[in-house]
Amino acid sequence: MNKYEVTRSVLERLNELGDAGIAPRREIVRRVTQWEDFSKCWENERHRARALVEDIRRSVNQKDAFTRMQIERDREHAEHVKRQRAEAQAAEARLARRETVKRDLKRLFGLQDPAARGKQLERVMNQMFDTEGILIREAFTVAAPDSQRVVEQVDGVVAIDGTLYLVEIKWHRERIDKGEISSSLVNVFSRGDVHLIVVSASGFTEGAVEVCKEALRDKVVVLTQLEEIVLLYERDEDFEQWLRARIHSAALDKRPFARA
């Protein structure tokens, strides 16, 4: 019996099996590459056998290295595609939430009950801040320590560039005056490194703007009209970038009410 013919016959039949023969073919390659004992070979064939096994081992190592690199490239590509898909889904979801905010803002102008309208405005604004990814805390109240009497109402808290801002949201018939703004300023001056954003549907009096200019020595105060935010959403502009520009205008240019 010729061992070469036996080997050739076995390998040919394994190759004919196609994918079904992968496991035994790999096992044969593994055994060949791990073979170290050439003592059974004819003495004049030992060096040749050792060299042939080394050639096979080198070829397998090269192919394994290529396979590992290919697997790594495939993995990186799959992760990249996964990230892109997740980012696209997040962007799509954010766009849908923005459309909801835009729709709810428009609906507010049809409400006749001032109390209900103010409450809904507070809810929509918190929804908007949450959609933009800057909301830290929704509306909350502060009670007197010796009773349950509410002494302070905060409509929301947002964070811009690591700085906290109390948000006051107002929808009155008349413009926000000096007295009401002063009350809001007391809320931020009673805290540490916390500043103020006031959103008004009716605008601000000159006295209110002047009080805020004086407060800029110690606190950043941003006054903005609801109309500006509605137009911003109509134009699908970046809200956080717009708000950051207003903050910079207040802090650097001493303009708390920087209308576009």
Q: What is the pLDDT along the chain (260 residues), one digit of tens a residue?
A: 677 788 888 888 888 888 888 888 888 888 888 888 888 887 888 888 888 888 888 888 878 777 777 777 888 888 988 999 998 998 898 889 889 988 988 888 888 888 888 888 888 888 888 888 887 876 655 444 565 554 467 778 888 998 999 999 888 889 999 999 998 898 889 888 899 999 999 899 999 999 999 999 999 999 999 999 999 988 888 999 999 999 999 999 999 998 64
CB neighbour list of residue 4: distance below 8 Å, 6 or more residues apart: none
In a domain, 14, yes or no: yes
Same domain, 238 and 122: yes
CATH number of the structural domain spanning residue 163: 3.40.1350.10
Whether 99 maps to a domain, the answer reads: no
Residue 2: CB atoms within 10 Å:
8
Query: Quick one: 68 and 130 in the same domain?
Result: no
Shared domain for 126 and 46, answered yes or no, is: no
Q: Beta-strand (E) ranges in 30-186?
A: 135-143, 150-160, 163-170
> Is 77 exposed, middle or buried (CB count within 10 Å of its CB: 0-12, 13-18, 19+)?
exposed
What pTM was estimated for this model as a whole? 0.64
- 33 and 156 share a domain? no
Query: 168 and 243, same structural domain?
Result: yes
Q: Which string of DSSP letters, residue by residue, matches 42-54?
A: -GGGHHHHHHHHH
**Looking at the domain assignment, is residue 87 inside a domain?**
no
CA dihedral 222, 227, 229, 232 (to 10 degrees): -130
Range of 53's domain?
A: 3-72
Query: Does 135 lie in the same domain as 14?
Result: no
Q: Same domain, yes or no, for 146 and 249?
A: yes
Q: Is the dihedral of CA 252, 127, 259, 117 positive or negative?
A: negative
